[in-house]
Chains A and B, each alone.
Chain A
Amino acid sequence: MDAPLRTLAVWCPDWPVVAAEIAEGVSAHDPVAVLAANRVVACSEAARAEGVRRGLRKREAQSRCPHLVVVADDPVRDARTFEPVVAAVEELAPGVEVVRPGACALAARGPSGYFGGEERAAQRIVEHVAQVCAVESQVGIADGGFAAGLAARAGRIVPPGGTADFLSPVGVTVLDRPQLTDLLRRLGIRTLGDFSALPVRDVLARFGFDAAYAHRLAAGRDVAPLAVRRPPPDLDVQQTYDEPLDRVDAAAFAARGLAQRLHERLAAYGLACTRLVIEAVTAHGEELHRTWRHEGMLSTTGIADRVRWQLDGWLTRTGTGEGRPTAGILRLRLMPDGVVRHAGLQPGLWGDAGEEQERAHRALTRVQGMLGPEAVVTAVLGGGRSPADRVRLVPWGDERASAGPDATWPGRLPSPAPAVVPPQPLPAVVYAADGSPVEVTGRLAVSAPPARVAVDRAGPVDVVGWAGPWPVDERWWAPAEAYRRVRFQVTLDDGRALLVVLSGGQWAVEAIYE
């Protein structure tokens, strides 16, 4: 039988808390708890000192530590922030397995031989991680990944062959198999040593395969090889120019070459790029940065076009001159941000992703290059009471996610919807027949029928028909956002129809049925 591999484990304590500090700026020195499904999954040292423990409910944790900062658990955030730590470890020793965010393992033989001893290797890795990522870590070395993980928590280097002794006094809960450990505890088996003393055959017969595997872990006979990760390929391409690029045609030429290189590099890995970051540094040190999205695969011309439009937009930015570089571009860098395995693009059979879509997409991306990505929008309908609330504008290229199901909205305007919805309501006055402004009481009594409407300094026009008042009282529970108003539909003598609202004694035209 193979002997367990001598393994070096790196463990960063309370990783979810550290990740929250890195990603969201929460200070890990304050009491912080990371919660998933209302239970504490990790907490900072300060919180632990106040009695916060893993598995506590949120309310219980807050009662023990009232000034506890609560962060939602986000495994993706943990994984993302752990990436630089893994990269830092990889700089010293190759072949790292990420056990979970916050813990990684590697074969100890290489680094201990290279740095002259296991202790020195461990010291070196801790120092390097602290220097590069400013993250605290502990290293443990033992036979097998499981024992090394436990050794890292204790910050110990278990001598070769001493793993079984090291594991023997440890409680069975570290096996991370709640059902099994619960059963073992009721059988009076509390430590790994007790568990490993059981005959293998009986464990297999009584508890099954998984327990038999746990039994091997407990005995320090963990022979599972490390699942070494492959470091992600470096896909960025960049180019520095001796002559600063200040003309669009020169920039376009440069863009073409860079795009070709990026495309070749992506193709070599069989990848396709869905988001492209273009970064340019000017001769005066200004940095320009923009991300482009694309739902299909970016071809060479696609990449080149985007770079060219972007440079075009930067170099010939009109208008206020704000954001326009003061010198030519010295360095260009293309970073594929968001790559997918390229399995060939399947164009839509009818229309949806065909040539027309590509044509429209190209034209709109162009305008985005000219005016900025937020200038071109597409509308998504959602819920809401007023015509303006029902429309959500998303920048072109972003996901057109629907704003929830189109549920019934009591008080929503019935169709037909108004064709003109000014971004800001137009000021107006609604007069009664005697010339006084029409008022509506809190109990929705209209002081007098509307007789004339004056919109935005224009002369008053006679009202032909009117309907209302329709009250809308929104977000009354949040005083800062509360909006209470009554709405009327009025038709005027000149044929127009308006949606007028009265809010806080002020009349306004919210929409025009043009």
Chain B
Amino acid sequence: MAEILALRPRATTTVAGAGSTLRAILGDTAAESAIGVRLPLLPPLDKLFGRGLRRGAVVAVDGDAARMSLAMALMAGVSGDGGWCGVVGVPSFGCVAASELGVRLDRLAMVPQPGPVWAEAMAAMLPGMDVLLVQPPGLVPGRLARRLAARARQARCTVLTLGPVWEGADVRISAVHQEWLGVGAGSGRLRSRRVRVAVSNRPGSELDVWLPAEGGGVAEVELTVQPPLSIVDRRVAAGAVDLDEAV
């Protein structure tokens, strides 16, 4: 009996120890710091998702403006981190633009014309990719969408869908407004674009970004500072100088 009594406190400490370890693990997965659970994002875009974006989530990229660039910017974060990106069913994917935004082309695989078996192709690609950009040919029925989403979650591959065709996406990210700068009346050239991005799961949180920023990449718009137009640009915009660099 004495032995049993002596054993009891030891047993409880072990359980308590395991509990705290478990709590530490759980707490870690919930925090943004947990590498491998959250998707790496380019600096200004991570502000949109307060606690990061879960790997294996389905993100609908829609809205009329800047859809493709937004999807590329989301891919660029993963690609820059060494991840693999896939593109299914987007024959018009601009690879030069993607590379300018930071997507590594040697880790980008594309299936431009999957035809009627796009869902099978997508399901086969999910286990090998970190991000998969999909443009389904039509509205995706809820059942198929759920099945593919489950596969994606299991494979921990984030799915970006283009357009409002995916039922039941986890997050919806859209650009609500865009404005290109640099082109005047018969002069200048496109230089940068100001985009206002909104995310569905955090209503009211909108972010103004340069996508692309002057000189490439993504940057947050500093609200206190004037848009970074150089003197030459202003004169170009006013039509004073014919800066025809492209010819």
Q: Point out residues on A near B: beta carbons under 8 Å.
A: 318-319, 351, 356, 359-364, 366-367, 370-371, 375-381, 387, 390-391, 393, 396, 400, 411-423, 446, 449, 465-468, 470-471, 487, 489-491, 494-497, 511, 513-514
**CB-CB nearest 3 A-B residue pairs:** A363-B128, A417-B96, A465-B183
Residues in A whose Cβ lies below 8 Å from that of B82? 351, 356
Beyond known contacts A513-B193, A514-B67: 14 more, CB 8 A cutoff: A356-B83, A371-B115, A375-B114, A378-B106, A378-B110, A417-B96, A420-B92, A423-B92, A466-B185, A467-B188, A467-B190, A470-B247, A495-B64, A513-B190
Are A416 and B216 closer than 8 Å at their CB atoms? Answer: yes
Whether A319 contacts B121 in the complex (CB less than 8 A), given A359-B127, A363-B128, A421-B92, comes out as no
| Partner-contacting stretch, out of B11-19, B51-59, B174-182 | B174-182
Are B186 and A391 closer than 8 Å at their CB atoms? Answer: no
| Partner-contacting stretch, out of B41-49, B97-105, B200-208, B225-233 | B97-105
25 sampled A-B residue pairs with Cβ under 8 A: A318-B116, A364-B109, A371-B117, A377-B111, A378-B105, A378-B109, A379-B105, A387-B97, A390-B96, A391-B96, A396-B109, A412-B246, A416-B100, A416-B193, A416-B216, A418-B94, A419-B97, A420-B93, A421-B92, A467-B187, A467-B189, A495-B65, A495-B179, A497-B180, A497-B183
B136-171, CB under 8 A of A: which get 1 and which 0?
000000000000000000000000000000000000
Whether A360 contacts B84 in the complex (CB less than 8 A), given A366-B124, A489-B189, comes out as yes
Are B95 and A363 closer than 8 Å at their CB atoms? Answer: no
Nearest A residue to B244, CB-CB: A470
Residues in B whose Cβ lies below 8 Å from that of A495? 64-65, 177-180
Whether A466 contacts B186 in the complex (CB less than 8 A), given A363-B127, A417-B97, A511-B94, comes out as yes
Residues in A whose Cβ lies below 8 Å from that of B64? 494-495
CA distance A17 to B65 in the complex (A): 62
Q: Count B interface residues, CB 8 Å.
A: 62
Are B120 and A381 closer than 8 Å at their CB atoms? Answer: no
Q: Which of B72, B115, B186, B188 contacts A419 (CB 8 A)?
A: B72
Are B186 and A363 closer than 8 Å at their CB atoms? Answer: no
Residues in A whose Cβ lies below 8 Å from that of B190? 416, 467, 489, 491, 497, 513
Residues in B whose Cβ lies below 8 Å from that of A381? 95-96, 99, 105
Whether A367 contacts B121 in the complex (CB less than 8 A), given A376-B110, A497-B180, comes out as yes
B212 within 8 A of A: yes
Q: Which of B65, B92, B105 contacts A496 (CB 8 A)?
A: B65
CA distance A416 to B182 in the complex (A): 11
Residues in A whose Cβ lies below 8 Å from that of B185? 449, 465-466
Are B128 and A360 closer than 8 Å at their CB atoms? Answer: yes
Instruction: Please give the distance in Å from A391's CB to the nearest CB on chain B.
Output: 5
Are A360 and B179 closer than 8 Å at their CB atoms? Answer: no
B198 within 8 A of A: no
Residues in B whose Cβ lies below 8 Å from that of A514? 65-69
Residues in A whose Cβ lies below 8 Å from that of B96? 381, 387, 390-391, 417-418, 421
Whether A318 contacts B193 in the complex (CB less than 8 A), given A396-B109, A419-B72, A466-B185, comes out as no
Are A387 and B183 closer than 8 Å at their CB atoms? Answer: no
In chain B, positions 54-92 with a C-beta closer than 8 Å to chain A are 64-69, 72, 82-84, 91-92
Instruction: Please give the distance in Å from A479's CB to the nearest CB on chain B.
Output: 24
B39 within 8 A of A: no
Instruction: Please give the distance in Å from A23's CB to the nearest CB on chain B.
Output: 33
CA distance A487 to B97 in the complex (A): 18
Question: Of B82, B109, B185, which is in contact with the most chain A CB atoms at under 10 Å from its CB?
Answer: B109
Nearest A residue to B183, CB-CB: A465
Nearest B residue to A364, CB-CB: B109
CA distance A420 to B82 in the complex (A): 24
Are B109 and A370 closer than 8 Å at their CB atoms? Answer: no
Are B69 and A419 closer than 8 Å at their CB atoms? Answer: yes
Residues in A whose Cβ lies below 8 Å from that of B120? 370
Instruction: Please give the distance in Å from B225's CB to the nearest CB on chain A.
Output: 21
Instruction: Please give the distance in Å from B197's CB to the nearest CB on chain A.
Output: 14
CA distance A423 to B190 in the complex (A): 22
Whether A489 contacts B183 in the complex (CB less than 8 A), given A363-B124, A514-B68, comes out as yes
Residues in A whose Cβ lies below 8 Å from that of B244? 470
Nearest A residue to B71, CB-CB: A419
B129 within 8 A of A: yes
Are A377 and B180 closer than 8 Å at their CB atoms? Answer: no
Question: Of A370, A390, A411, A467, which is in contact with the most chain B CB atoms at under 10 Å from its CB?
Answer: A467
Question: Of B84, B98, B188, which is in contact with the most chain A CB atoms at under 10 Å from its CB?
Answer: B84
CA distance A250 to B211 in the complex (A): 53
Are B68 and A419 closer than 8 Å at their CB atoms? Answer: yes
B199 within 8 A of A: no
Are A387 and B94 closer than 8 Å at their CB atoms? Answer: yes
Instruction: Please give the distance in Å from B32's CB to the nearest CB on chain A.
Output: 23
Instruction: Please give the distance in Å from B62's CB to the nearest CB on chain A.
Output: 12
Are A415 and B216 closer than 8 Å at their CB atoms? Answer: yes
B4-22, CB under 8 A of A: which get 1 and which 0?
0000000000000000000
Instruction: Please give the distance in Å from A295's CB to the nearest CB on chain B.
Output: 13
Instruction: Please give the distance in Å from A444's CB to the nearest CB on chain B.
Output: 9
Are B67 and A364 closer than 8 Å at their CB atoms? Answer: no
CA distance A318 to B212 in the complex (A): 41
Q: Which of B69, B114, B128 contacts A362 (CB 8 A)?
A: B128
CA distance A417 to B106 in the complex (A): 19
Instruction: Please give the distance in Å from A418's CB to the nearest CB on chain B.
Output: 5
Residues in A whose Cβ lies below 8 Å from that of B124? 363, 366-367, 370
Instruction: Please give the distance in Å from A279's CB to the nearest CB on chain B.
Output: 24
Are A449 and B108 closer than 8 Å at their CB atoms? Answer: no
Residues in B whose Cβ lies below 8 Å from that of A378? 105-106, 108-110
B113 within 8 A of A: yes
Residues in B whose Cβ lies below 8 Å from that of A465? 180, 183-185, 188
B221 within 8 A of A: no
CA distance A427 to B172 in the complex (A): 32
CA distance A495 to B190 in the complex (A): 12
CA distance A413 to B183 in the complex (A): 14
Nearest B residue to A358, CB-CB: B128
Are B110 and A377 closer than 8 Å at their CB atoms? Answer: yes
Residues in A whose Cβ lies below 8 Å from that of B109? 360, 364, 376-378, 396
Are A415 and B105 closer than 8 Å at their CB atoms? Answer: no
